Structure formats: structure tokens, C-alpha cells
Structure 1
Amino acid sequence: MEIGTDQTMYAAAAEPCRNFNILNVTSLVDPKDGREKLVLSNFAAGSVGNLIFIDTQTQEGEAVALPGDSGAWAVLPLGDKLLVGTCPDYGYLHSLDLRTRQWAAPLRIESEKYIWNLALGSDGLVYGGTYPGCVLLRYDPGKHELVSLGRVSDNPKDMYSRNVYGDAPGRIIVSGGMDTPFLRVWDLETETFGDLGSPGETIRQVTPSFICTTLSGEQRFYDAKTLEPARGSQAEQWSGMLETREMEIGGGRQRVRYVPLLDGSHAAVKGQDYLIRRPGEKEPTLRSIPTEAPATRIHTVISDGGGVLWGSSGFGQTIFRYNPADGSYWNSGAVCNAGGEVYGMAFAGDELFLAAYAGGDHIVYRPGEPWDQYGNVNPRTLRSVGPELIRPHGKSVLGPDGGIWTGWMAKYGVYGGGLSRIDTATKEVTSWYDPVPGQEIGGLTADDKRLYFTTGTGGNGLKARDEPCHFAMWEPEGRISFLHRFELGEKPGALIAAASRVWVRVGKEIAVFDPDLAAFVRRIPLGEGCGCLIALGADRIAAFGEKTLFAIDTGRMTAEPLGALPGHVSTAARTPDGSVYFNCYGTKLFKWNDALA
């Protein structure tokens, strides 16, 4: 089917990226049939999420679509209702009638995009934390009414009221940040906020009797009724009551958090599988989730040089393979233990190297060999650059030295970034933190001599700062040999090394950098922003604008519009036959109908 303003320009080739991304797991006795069910909250990036009900005895599955938004961290069984707090676009509070499988009208606070979790307070009302407004929500189940109780943090830079806890009598405990991590207490009687503990303390567990926090590895205890610190024998008693709901799988090689079932079994989700360990069993049985995996957003796509495309999911830590010759596709399990998504993808020989958020993970996968992620055999996780660096925002390239290089953003609550290099022979990882102090690596490219990167002023969990961005020339031995500071307000983005120059999107132009002169020599106007650049043979570059595909002549340094695009392109790749495939922040992989040499 042809799509778009000009129906001769491109077509939807396939939806090859399909996966589950389970954000939360709980259990309940389903009032519809009286049977115990596992409830999985599935996030479908680029689409609408769903709930998956799995009968704990028969293993049969049922999928129930959410009324809106991609998925949900927050899931709370409440009598005959199941409450769901969504993300990442609307922050809906959905209420499902379990008997009829009917949804009540969605509720939301206009300023919020995420609801992180939901907790039942001792007053019978439900509370939740949010992003980006860092507010405390209150939901009245009887009235089906949602209100904001205001910002939790006094620091305007804090955007997360990440988790709420309702077990302390008369109070709601709230943790958040990210500029300044905090613990605050909402008093249900006075409806006012107060502080808890010292700066830097985080919640370990909240019960009706005690609150346990940690600070620099040390446990601290507070009386849940008075909030007074507890020490000595009382702290020792409560320490013995702490829960750790984790079990070992894969012969003890991995640990997963479990949900207890009524018969004493333990249930959990690991990547694309779920598992139930019955009483007396040493090793649980892993099973595929018994519903169809939805089409999800494509995050990165590359070509392997043989005409086959490889890509990653927008959330869920999986990769896919798509063969345009016959339309076949394959989707992997989770590539590593940490959650998030694969940003960086680059081949070196027969090995595919991956870089993933949120653990700062480097992964190597050999497509010709059996899949064994649980054993860390194939794919294999190499040394992480976390917790200092966690998001490979600059993606990955094959460097002039034969190494795989990746550009990173710093951890939550910190402005900064870094570079990493994998030795493809030894698999040794080397990293450089903050080459441009306080700025993330926004884009990365390489020619046969050097690497080049742009920087940005944003941060994980932080608003972008109003300061100049940079372009850097990086020597493979690990140093900046040239640094250009852009004018304040100029935002660099995609870049590519081609035809002995480096082509950098700056605002609505392409800035041309000559490495031999160590200077920018030209600006090519596009008239619109550009999200992606790829090479089209030896003397042309494809620039994917917000609405238009441009061909840049690298000799004349001019841009020619080739036709309209269906949207803002986030990733693209060209196969050896000249076919160009791209994605517009959605589930569809598009093909440009004309081969581009």
C-alpha cells in the first residue's frame, strides 16, 4: 500500500519489530471466573499497550488493550477493579472492571505524562507519583475522581515524584528527584508535606510498622506511626523482617524479582518469557508469554552489508532482523539483564555490537550461533560504563582503528557524557568520561583517520541547559584535537563523515567541516530540521528532513529535494542494492521506492 502526500515516493515495507516489554507484574483472583491470574502490564512502544492475564494453572492467556497510551508502570488491584497509571504521553488513570472487562472513562492531569506507581493509603484513597510535574496524585475510587495535590519537591528542577508508599498509617511516603533526590511525607489529616530522613536516603521498604531506608549502603529504620528513628533492638527486629522477593534462575546465574502466588509458587517475567516455580522445584519452567507480541516502534536500523536489515525496539531491550528479499523477520529475546533499549548497533566482521540504555551495557552477538542470553554466552554482555554513563545517545560506529565506538549520556541527575571503545578482538572496553565537561554526546561518526561528535546540553531526568553546544574532532588514542563551540541557540544533531568531510545538521542547515583545514567551510540550507543522515554511494548523502528527503551533492555542496516523507525520520539504512529504508518514530519500516545510488 502506498502512503503519503506523493504516493510514488515511498511505501510501508513491513512491521518487523515485535516484542513484549513488561513493566509490571502482579497477581489477583479474577472475579470474572474465580481463578488466580498473573497480570502483566505490557508497554507497546509506538502503539497502544495492553494487559495480559495468564491463568496460573492452565497457562492460558488473555490480552486486554488499554484505552490509551503505550503502557503502564503503575498497576494496582483494588477489589473488583484494576487501576492502571500510564506513560509516556498522557499519564492516564484507567480503571478496569474485572467482571465485565469494561474500562471507565480515562482520567488525567493535563501537565503529567507518566504515573510511576499507585499505592492505597490508609484513608482508602489511592495515591500516585508523576513526571514531569513531580506532583502527588490522589484518586477517589468511589467517585472515580483524580486530583493533583501539588508539587512534592520545592526544587523546580526536580521532575520526578517517582514512587509512593501507602502502608504507613496516616501518611503517604514519596521518593523522587532527579536534580536533588528527596524523601517527603504527605500527612493525610493535615494535607501537608514534610521531610523524612537525611538528604540522599532512599526507600528500601515501607510497612505498617516501620520504614527502612538506605544511605551509602547503611540501613536506617523509622517508626511508621511516629516517623521517629529506631535504633538498637527495635532496628534489629525490623531488620529481620525485611523482604527480598528475588529468586535465582539459570542455575543461579541470574536473579529475578518474583510475585508470590496463593499455592506458594513464585512467578516472574524475564524478557520475552514468564516463569512459575512451584513449591519444591529448584529451577522454574520458562514459557513464552501466551499472547501475540504487538508491532512496536523501531529505534535503530542498520544494514549488515548483505542486504539484510537489523534493528532494535523502541523499548524492551530486543533486536530484530528483516530480510527484504522474502519479507521474513525474526525478533530476539532481551539482549541483556538491564531494561531499556538498544541505541548503538554496528557490525565488525560477523559480530554485531550493541550499546544499551539503562545499564550502560555493551553487548556482542554472533548471529550464526545459538541464542543463550541467560547464560551470558550469545549475546554476551561486556564491561558496562554504568553507573556513570547510561544512555548511548550518540549511538555506535566502527572507528578508524577497528574498534566499536559509542557516544553516551551521563546517569540520571547529572549533566555530562562520554565515549567508549570496544576492542573487537579482545572485547576489552575502554571509556572516557566527560570529554566536553557537563555535556552529553549527541551524535558520533568516523572516517578513516578520526572520530567526530556533537554535544548537547540535556541530561537524563533534567531539563536542557541554555549554553552553547560543541563539535569535536577526536583522535583514536583518546583526545580532542579540535573543538568548535557553536553560537548560543544553535543546536547540532545528526552528522556523518563522507567524501573527506563531516556533514553536521545545525538547526535547519547542514554545516560542512573540513578535517584537513580543521574548520567549517560551508553551510547548506535545508529550510527544515534534519533527523538522520546516511551515505548514498561515494558522492551523495541522504538528509532526512522533517518533511522532505534531500540528496546532498558532496562535490557541489548543494541539497536537492527528492520528495515528501511521511514524518520526521528517526533512523535509516541503505542496502547494497541502493534501497533505502527508514522509520518515523513508529512501528512501520518504510522503503523509498527509487534506488538511491
Structure 2
Amino acid sequence: MRFRDVVLVSLLTGVAAMSQVEFRSHGIGAPVGEVRGAAAVKTADGRCLLVVVPLDLSPRGYLLVVDVDRGETTQVAYPEGVPFAGAFASLLSRNGRFYTGEGGHLMEFDPATAAFTFHGKSHAASQHMVGQAIIDGPDGRIYIGTHPDCRLVSFDPETKTFQDHGQVDPAEHYFNTLAYDSAGWFYGGIGTARMSLPACHLASGEVRQLLADAQRTVGSASVYTGTDGKAYGVAGAQWYRLFEGKAEPIERAAASPKLAGGQIGYGGRIGDWGDGRTWKVSLETASVEITTPGAAEPRRVALTYTSGGAQITSMIAGPDGQLYASSAHPMHFVRFDPRQDLMTDLGAVKDVGGGNFCAMAVQGRFIAAPSYAYGIFHLFDTTKPFDGGYGADPNPRELARWKEDICRPRTAAAHPDGRHVFMAGFAGYGRVGGGLGIVDLETGTATLVTHERLIPNQSTIALKVLPDGTLVGGTSVEAPGGGHTQAEEAVLYLYDWKRQEVLYQGSPVPKVRDLVCLEVGAGGRVYGLAAGGTLFVFDPASRQVVQRADLSSFGGPLRSSLLWQPDGRLYAAFTRGLVRIDPATLEGSWVAPSPVPVTAGLAILGGRAYVASQATIWSCPLGQ
């Protein structure tokens, strides 16, 4: 249990003692982890090792060191104080040490001794290293491009000190690649809202942007160090030779080969042991497969370690009386049968990888689920076996794919006509304004409504259907993935999806940037929760917000966390627990405070409310 969990449990103990309703844990939904990077290492004494960077929901981060010949796994905990935030970039350095970063902290690790030799914050504003922006420099230092502030920082392995070389792009966030030339210049491949290719002269501190303003379109530039003392870059379709802080346009064929390096991007695997053997590592199967030249079968080495499981991000009550949930990093589909108290990790889904089902909606016997990061709309038939989306009759199957317009889905809805389903969310990397996807399950027709024809420069993150079939949506002005935000206030809107016409839009809560979730109650009234915990009621007939209430004392609101029940009661999941809301007065009261922070939910099934706390699924009875 994390420290913050202990504090929260203490704060809620008195409240829980007064309640006869208590939460119960059903265990980890997907007891798996994700490989964020891995490298093969041969030590000076001849041992063949794998260094693996995992991600799961363990309370403390760790590396795995696998001796592939002895079949031994060593789990090495991160140094105290280093957050377990998920590594995006690592480096197997020429100096024999392994570097990775979590939450802006750089860690230096010695594979031979299985010990950390340094850790520290690379820069106060740094949150991550991303892409492959960590490299061995020509002077023995380790050079890093930081996210989201795009600074160039170096680390001296001898003195264990950092040097800040300055910010190379003041507006972009994703410093993805890093290179240098023999004249003392470093170059960055940066994005995502506007391609950026800056040059930085270490000695003088001078920074130059090498791309003309017209070239800086949506996307990312990319750079690498060549074997000829020059660096090379590409922005869009144009290649460049980079030297002495200048960019010379060239043909792709004129670029030098890449100087070999040990940088490892998200999920990358590098290296070998020099004996011809190849390897594959998976935390989902908890194994390493070693293939020896001439061998009939690969040799399997089991990984023995303790995992905290993958984070549960969404859930829904299925039409078959079972609970369905999705994890992320990696994405697994999970089913819980409350009648048997049985949790089943069904496994991964094709083309989702480290993403997730961001939301789900029930349409008849189906569950419609949009996924990150390709904007895929999936359809799962609950009456058929799950097969991960493969084969001649895949389950789930793909309905549509909108990678650029709905890369990060946040909501899904089913129309009462029994045949249409909807998905919406944020646009792709570097973009602002997400679209709305519509699929007719009878004809298979898929329709995209772009943000320009909906709510320009905003993204729909909450969506419901009114009794007359009109869509009601709630937006976010944010642009995750590096886009530059344009709007300042989230709106609620009514949309005639057949005529593709916005009937109404307005701000139900002034100055709020996110309308987190919506629900339709009696008489078609719309209940919504805004970021910060303000509950509002919107009357579609008068097109007026008729009530507001501050429910922030219950914690933060969660996506898909408002549910209207047939008995006329409204329930909401907050970070502190489950709340019953009086629809007339908007007064909230505890059903049960949670002993752990609630991070996802809500689903109601068989008189119980289900939520998730990190990797674990919990439930409590609704009570009287």
C-alpha cells in the first residue's frame, strides 16, 4: 500500500465506522505487466543477462535482471523516492551501465552487480524522457532531452552531476530524438503540434531553429548521429545533413549510416550476447524465449518476480450479467462473474497493445468499446467466446478506425434504436479537437464527424443519448499528446446526429475546462459532473442549467462515474468512494467511503456497485 493510501484510509476510518456498507476487494483484474524496454548484456565475467524495465501497479518500481543461462531472475527495487511513473526511454551505455528514467528522475544501474549507482532529478521541470532522446555523447557524458519542457541536459557519470544546456523549444513538448556532430552541435527531433528541429551549440549556448515556419506542420522531426561526424534529420519528407548548426537539404540516399548506439525507445529491445542466440521477453507470459542457432525449439526461461498488475481504466455491466473491464499497459480484457465470484483475464486484443478500451457501451448482446492509440471501435459479442480479435470470425471485431481524429477515445454510447453506437474523444498527437464516430451495426456504415463540424477545437469526453434520440455531449478543451489548446471553457451541447446539426451549446459550469461525465435521468434531464466536483442539472426542453451543487468534498469525479438507476436514484463514484445523490436536491450522501483511492468506475450489477483502485476491482452493496 502506498503512503497516500495509508493517509486516506486513516482519514476515512471514522466515516467507514458509521456505515454498515463496506467495500470488498475482488483482486487484481489483469495480473500482468508491460515491458517498457529491455537490453541484452554480457558482463566482464561472461554472464549473459537481460535487463528488463517493467511497468505495472506495484507500489515501488523495479528492474528485472535475468541470467538466461542459470534461469535466475533478480528483482531490484528502485531507489527510495523515485516514482513508478512508467519509463519511456532507456540507454545501454558504452560505459557498461544502464540508464532509465521515471518521473523526471534519471537512474544509473550496473547490470554486473544488479545495483543502482545513482539517481537524481535531471531538471526541476522534467517529467519524463521520451522516444530515444537519451544518448552517449562524444565526451563520455549522457545527454538527455526532457519532456515536456524540451531542455537539453547532460549527466557526467564520473562526478554524478547534471548540467542544464537550456531549453531548445519553448512551445513543443515531445523531445523524441537527439543527435550530435563533430563540431560541438547537438540537434533535437521534436514535435508534435509543430515539427521542430533545433540546433544547440554546447560551448556558446546558442540555439537555432533549423526549420522554416512553413515547414513546421503537425508531426515530429527526427534526427540521428551519422558515422561520418555529421548528424542527419528528417522533417516530413525532407532529409537534411546537419553540421555546424546548419541544415543542408539532401536526398534520403545521401544520408550516412546511423552511428550504433544503445538508446531504447518505449517497448524497445536491443542487444545480443555475441553467440548467435536471439531472445524474446514478455511480462504477459512471464518468460524469456532463447533461440539457439540449429536448435529445434526455443528454450523458455520463466521469470520469477512479484507484479502489481495492470491498471484498470474502464468497466461496464454486461448484458449477460457479468462485469467487463479493460486494463492499460498492457491492455487486457477482463471478465468478472459475480455469481461465481470468478475473475478471468481474457487476454489482449489485436492492435491495442499498451493502450486500452477507454470506454464501453452496451448495445443488445454487444459491448462497443473504443481503444487508444489507433482510435479503433471494437464490438464484442458476449454470447461468443473471446478470441482477441483474430481469425475469420474475430471477437471482438473492428468496426472502424479513426487514428487522427479520435486517437484517445474517452466515451462511448449506444442509441436506443438498437443499431447505432457512438464513440468520441481526443485527437491524435499534436492535434487539437477530437471527432465523433458513428457506426450503424446493421449496415456497417461508419461516419466521422470532425470537431470543425461539432465543437471546434474541443473534444467530446462525455456522451449520452436523450429519450428522443438526440445526443448530449460534454467537452474538454485540453489537447493531450502535445497539441496547442485553443478554447478556454468546456461546453455542453445537443446534437442531431442524423442531420449532423448542433442544436445547442453552452457552458454549464463557468471557467471549467472538462465536463467529466454525463447521465440522463427521469424526464430526459441531464446530470453532469465537471472537473473539480460541481454537479449540474440541464433541462433539454428549456435548454437551461436548472441546478448546481458542489460535491468536491467526496473527492474528484471520474469518467463514466454517474449512473441513474430504475428506482430513481443517482449514484456517483468519486475518488473517495461511492455516493448516492438525491435528484431533487442534489444532496450527496455516502453509500460507502472506499478504503483505497478509487481510480475508475462506475458499474452497477446485481445490487452492487463496482469500481477499480489501480489494478484491483472492488465492489460494495448499494444499500437501502
1:469 corresponding residue in structure 2: 490
Q: Deviations over 1:73-123 (max 9, x none)?
A: 22212334211111xxx3111112223222234200332211224211101
Conserved 8 A contact 1:45-1:315: no
1:389 corresponding residue in structure 2: 406
TM-score computed with the length of structure 1 as normaliser:
0.84
Which among 20, 28, 32 is matched to residue 15 of structure 1?
Answer: 28
Percent of residue pairs bearing the same amino acid type: 21
Q: Secondary structure, in 3 states, of the residue corresponding to 1:190?
A: coil
AA aligned to 2:493 is A
Which among 489, 496, 519 is matched to residue 496 of structure 1?
Answer: 519
**Structure 2 vs 1, CA of residues 194 and 523 (structure 1 numbering), >3 Å: closer, same or farther?**
closer
RMSD, aligned CA: 3.6
**Structure 2 vs 1, CA of residues 230 and 483 (structure 1 numbering), >3 Å: closer, same or farther?**
closer
**Structure 2 vs 1, CA of residues 170 and 557 (structure 1 numbering), >3 Å: closer, same or farther?**
closer
Q: Deviations over 1:237-282 (max 9, x none)?
A: 547x47999xxxxxxxxxx976453344554567836666666899
Q: Deviations over 1:406-437 (max 9, x none)?
A: 12111222221111123334544322110100
5 Å matches for 1:154-169? 155=170, 157-165=171-179
Conserved 8 A contact 1:447-1:498: no
Conserved 8 A contact 2:573-2:602: no
Q: CA deviation at 1:452?
A: 1.3
Conserved 8 A contact 1:135-1:151: yes
CA distance in 1, matches of 2:59, 2:408: 23
Q: Secondary structure, in 3 states, of the residue corresponding to 2:361?
A: strand
AA aligned to 1:572 is G
1:322 corresponding residue in structure 2: 336
Is 1:411 the counterpart of 2:432? The answer is no
Q: CA deviation at 1:184?
A: 1.7
AA aligned to 1:519 is Q
Q: CA deviation at 1:553?
A: 2.8
**Structure 2 vs 1, CA of residues 98 and 258 (structure 1 numbering), >3 Å: closer, same or farther?**
closer
Q: Which moved more, 1:14-23 or 1:373-382?
A: 373-382
2:160 corresponding residue in structure 1: 144
AA aligned to 1:543 is A
CA distance in 1, matches of 2:441, 2:59: 36
Q: Secondary structure, in 3 states, of the residue corresponding to 1:104?
A: strand
Conserved 8 A contact 1:23-1:43: yes
**Structure 2 vs 1, CA of residues 148 and 62 (structure 1 numbering), >3 Å: closer, same or farther?**
same
CA distance in 1, matches of 2:91, 2:276: 21
**Structure 2 vs 1, CA of residues 471 and 161 (structure 1 numbering), >3 Å: closer, same or farther?**
same
Any gaps of 5 or more consecutive residues in structure 2?
A: 262-266
1:236 corresponding residue in structure 2: 253
Is 1:442 the counterpart of 2:442? The answer is no
Q: CA deviation at 1:579?
A: 0.6
Is 1:102 the counterpart of 2:122? The answer is no
Conserved 8 A contact 1:404-1:422: yes
2:234 corresponding residue in structure 1: 214
Q: Secondary structure, in 3 states, of the residue corresponding to 2:460?
A: strand
Is 1:543 the counterpart of 2:559? The answer is no
**Structure 2 vs 1, CA of residues 289 and 389 (structure 1 numbering), >3 Å: closer, same or farther?**
farther
Count the aligned residue pairs.
574
1:581 corresponding residue in structure 2: 610
CA distance in 2, matches of 1:290, 1:259: 22
1:571 corresponding residue in structure 2: 600
1:590 corresponding residue in structure 2: 618
2:97 corresponding residue in structure 1: 81
Is 1:43 the counterpart of 2:60? The answer is no
Q: Secondary structure, in 3 states, of the residue corresponding to 1:383?
A: strand
Is 1:178 the counterpart of 2:192? The answer is yes
Q: Secondary structure, in 3 states, of the residue corresponding to 1:106?
A: strand
Q: CA deviation at 1:345?
A: 2.0
Which among 440, 444, 456 is matched to residue 476 of structure 2?
Answer: 456
AA aligned to 1:503 is Y
Conserved 8 A contact 1:85-1:118: no
CA distance in 1, matches of 2:299, 2:369: 29
Is 1:362 the counterpart of 2:368? The answer is no
CA distance in 1, matches of 2:347, 2:180: 35
Is 1:134 the counterpart of 2:147? The answer is no
5 Å matches for 1:258-297? 259=270, 261=272, 262-264=274-276, 267=279, 272=284, 291=305, 293-297=307-311
CA distance in 1, matches of 2:361, 2:342: 21
CA distance in 1, matches of 2:397, 2:437: 17
Conserved 8 A contact 1:580-1:596: no
Q: CA deviation at 1:439?
A: 0.6
Q: Deviations over 1:30-86 (max 9, x none)?
A: 45x633333332122574333334455676644333333223122212334211111
1:252 corresponding residue in structure 2: none
Q: Secondary structure, in 3 states, of the residue corresponding to 1:313?
A: strand
Conserved 8 A contact 1:37-1:55: yes
CA distance in 2, matches of 1:415, 1:21: 29
Q: Secondary structure, in 3 states, of the residue corresponding to 1:182?
A: coil
5 Å matches for 1:425-440? 425-434=442-451, 435-440=454-459
Conserved 8 A contact 1:18-1:294: yes
AA aligned to 2:464 is T
AA aligned to 1:517 is S
5 Å matches for 1:65-80? 65-67=77-79, 68-70=82-84, 71-78=86-93, 79-80=95-96
Q: Secondary structure, in 3 states, of the residue corresponding to 1:73?
A: coil
Q: CA deviation at 1:453?
A: 1.0
Q: Deviations over 1:524-573 (max 9, x none)?
A: 44354533212343301112345464312335654444453446644323
Higher relative contact order (CA 8 A, sep 6+): 2
Q: Which moved more, 1:555-564 or 1:140-149?
A: 555-564
CA distance in 2, matches of 1:548, 1:136: 43
**Structure 2 vs 1, CA of residues 124 and 202 (structure 1 numbering), >3 Å: closer, same or farther?**
same
Q: Which moved more, 1:63-72 or 1:279-288?
A: 279-288
Conserved 8 A contact 1:164-1:172: yes
2:138 corresponding residue in structure 1: 122
Q: Secondary structure, in 3 states, of the residue corresponding to 1:173?
A: strand
